[in-house]
Structure 1
Amino acid sequence: MRTTTIPVAAAAAILALTLAGCSGGGDDTTGGAGARTPAPPTSAPVTSAAPTPSASSTGGRASAHTEAELTGVFQRIQFRPAEFTTTDAMLDSVYPGLTVSDASCLAPFGVGWDTSDDAGTVVFGTSNDRSMTAVVASTGETAAATDLVEDARSALTRCADGSALFSMQGKPIETTVETAEPSLTGTDEAIGWRVRGTVGGNAFTLVGHTARVGGDVVALVGWDPTSNTTNVPLATQMFVDAL
């Protein structure tokens, strides 16, 4: 499942066209799937954000980003920060009725980072077209950021296959997980993964990346099978370049 590396400028143009063509709007509170009214994009066209100095992968302290800086990154990449008060609420707005017997299994989605004492400054939101979710934690500590990546790695192993962990609106979800090293540049460490499954007889595919740059970590997940294989690595690379 290795993806082809695409130059950031081209990636930005491709993702801009995709998101601008199907931007979601309206009231994005939790509720039934698909209950959103399309609206024009509300943020500026996607551009590759200018890289800022990243922390060394060795050593303890790392330069941290402010909430305003992270919010600006989200907006430039056409993600919508500050829509939801918690990562749980954001996830429920995209996957309504999703329940999990072990909350740590959602670590690859970045769920729970906003309530962690070690995650530092956390900003999260959906893409304009609501096909992807992104959570970024700027910890200010290389060790703390590494722990977040390890939590995601552990969850992908412990919660990989079967139907006992997840359910959607009361129906068990059968899942199979594949992991691979993603084709990203500029990261200190990164995990790529794909979840295939069925719920109520309907098949689905999720694609996700968790990537660390110094003391910053991004968890990005896409649910739309027509675009997630391409757009998740493109969007993740843009976040990485901005961090």
Structure 2
Amino acid sequence: MASPASRIPHARLRAGLVVAALGLAALTGCTPSAAQGGESPSAAATATTAPSTTATAPAAASGALDRDELAGLFSGIQFRAAEYDSIAAMLESIYPGLTVSDAACLAPFGAGWESAGDAVEWGTSNDRSMTAVVASAADDAAAKALVAQAEEAIARCANGRELFAMQGVPVTTAVEPFDVAVTGADDVQGWRVTGDVGGSPFTLVGATVRTGQNVLALVGWDPETSADYVPQATQLFVDRIASATAN
């Protein structure tokens, strides 16, 4: 995947961050104003917990990856791991000032996945147009539950599409499935948020993918690259997960 970093002017990057923040607020189906009782991404991520399962993880679960192995997935594909102390801090850096009233709505972004187990890693692409969170859950059932969380959030938080505002700018949105063509994965859930901010269209593209007990949440905000880069980056992660678990 060719490096896109040098092709994104700083002015467009700043504008894109604002549009992305508005798009994320739209996905959550929540108010973007802290004064209206919203939570910051940090509070949201802290409040989000992985669903509990009754299954007991085996002593050496098949396909399990430790955090070092997960960090290795990021290297060589223009992503950086271990740059932020928490997933919430990473999201705040991409979507500054965003607030949400329902933490569960951020599940498609991997928010709160630290609670999914000891092996979780996260980072941004080199050009900061994408974020990725990878968790190696206790077993397949726990991994499936993370995917179900994202699916539920996409369906539930898209209900009642309303007019949103950020700093007085009205936001209209629509959430729809996005066909992410990925091979070698057990579950793939793709989504796209499209909308309008004061006459300027925006798009967010995301994918939640499970390979055995390993789950990836990848989101791209840049409207010029996300439709192509999110599937490409998702496939690269899936291929690396397959290679790591085969060793």
**AA matched with 1:182:** V
Decide whether the 8 Å contact of 1:209 with 1:219 is kept in 2: yes
Corresponding residue of 2:100: 100
Matches within 5 A, 1:59-208: 61-114=61-114, 116=115, 118-161=116-159, 162-163=161-162, 168=166, 173-208=171-206
Deviation of 1:140 after TM superposition, in Å, equals 3.2
SS in 1 for 2:133: strand
TM score, norm. by length of structure 1: 0.72
Deviation of 1:179 after TM superposition, in Å, equals 0.9
**AA matched with 1:102:** D
Query: 2:86, 2:198 → 1: CA distance?
Result: 28
Query: 2:83, 2:120 → 1: CA distance?
Result: 13
CA deviations 1:3-25 (Å, max 9, x no partner) are xxxxxxxxxxxx2x23453599x
Query: 2:100, 2:185 → 1: CA distance?
Result: 30
CA deviations 1:62-116 (Å, max 9, x no partner) are 32111111111111211111111111111111111211111111111111112x2
SS in 2 for 1:183: coil
Unaligned runs of 5+ in 2: 10-15, 19-55, 242-247
TM score, norm. by length of structure 2: 0.71
Query: 2:131, 2:151 → 1: CA distance?
Result: 18
SS in 2 for 1:205: strand
Shift of the 19–75 alpha-carbon distance from structure 1 to 2, 3 Å rule, reads farther
Q: CA RMSD in A?
A: 2.6
Shift of the 168–123 alpha-carbon distance from structure 1 to 2, 3 Å rule, reads farther
Query: 1:77, 1:181 → 2: CA distance?
Result: 22
Corresponding residue of 1:215: 213
Unaligned runs of 5+ in 1: 1-14, 25-31, 35-58
Query: 1:71, 1:139 → 2: CA distance?
Result: 15
Deviation of 1:173 after TM superposition, in Å, equals 4.0
Deviation of 1:178 after TM superposition, in Å, equals 0.6
Between the two proteins, the alignment pairs up a number of residues equal to 195
